[in-house]
Structure 1
């Protein structure tokens, strides 16, 4: 018998792989525009003068967040990228400015070098395989973002925003007690505030 999470992940990622280059380009522009606006709104609401914003560096067919990183930096926000140092352990976050060199991390991901300052984000943009409107995400199976959000939320208020194509939406993501809910979900079509 197959695992419902595995099946959902496989189907959602297969749909994501079908996104055309033009759709991907348009989606990246929409996420840059709407993501920057949401960060500005959250900053104003929270009263934080200089929030730290973590944005993932895209791999495979993930929605491209590089335009979002550029838009946030141009707006004066401090951007960090996640660094994966151990499987099933929380991420760490290091400063990144467009134009910085990235190094290949131990898991083959492009990450800021170790000499870049590490800091906890106030706002975190997360990749995902699938999501539902309750605010639950299905990741890639490593539990890394759940561990990260759990650790960060124990320290301070943090806003977690899932980023995906609309085609990755599921009616219901299977959940377990450790699964962390997202505060927002952002697709090329809309920004969802989970019910």
Structure 2
């Protein structure tokens, strides 16, 4: 038997939640986020001004408090994560003042605090790192992160995401992808603080 507890509600013209993600903090609290494209016009997946949201539960998911809401700061897929030293972040693509189609050239981490203050950090600039491709932009997107205990016995915060040429109008993708296209896994290293275990056995 399973229970279902709603956390976020979609509302026409206001919020449209999907692609959820969840992490556990060192103190046992849960942090939940969901992609919110509800303010965009036209339909899902095309607008560039989307929100950041996060909720926290301190009682095992029975009740949730909305702890982060920032309007129109990102575009595209996103997910919530937590660093080794316990700092929560949201990974995704920022809004940039560039022509439509290039909004996923950059990958950001937004750390945040109890006052919903964002601290953005660019972790991938595809044009700077890979150069231009024949399509003029990149899709660096669909990030997911977790903390793993690897072979060395230590915890590591890793993030996986894709890099690909953008969709071509009239087809599902490109015929000859650039050699930089593929799945990437990178370690996110905290430069200060001490690791906070997220598991207790």
If the length of structure 1 is used for normalisation, what is the TM-score?
0.27
Which structure ranks higher in relative contact order (CA pairs < 8 Å, sequence separation ≥ 6)? 1
Greater per-residue strand proportion: 2
Greater per-residue helix proportion: 1
If the length of structure 2 is used for normalisation, what is the TM-score?
0.26
Pick the structure with greater CA Rg.
2
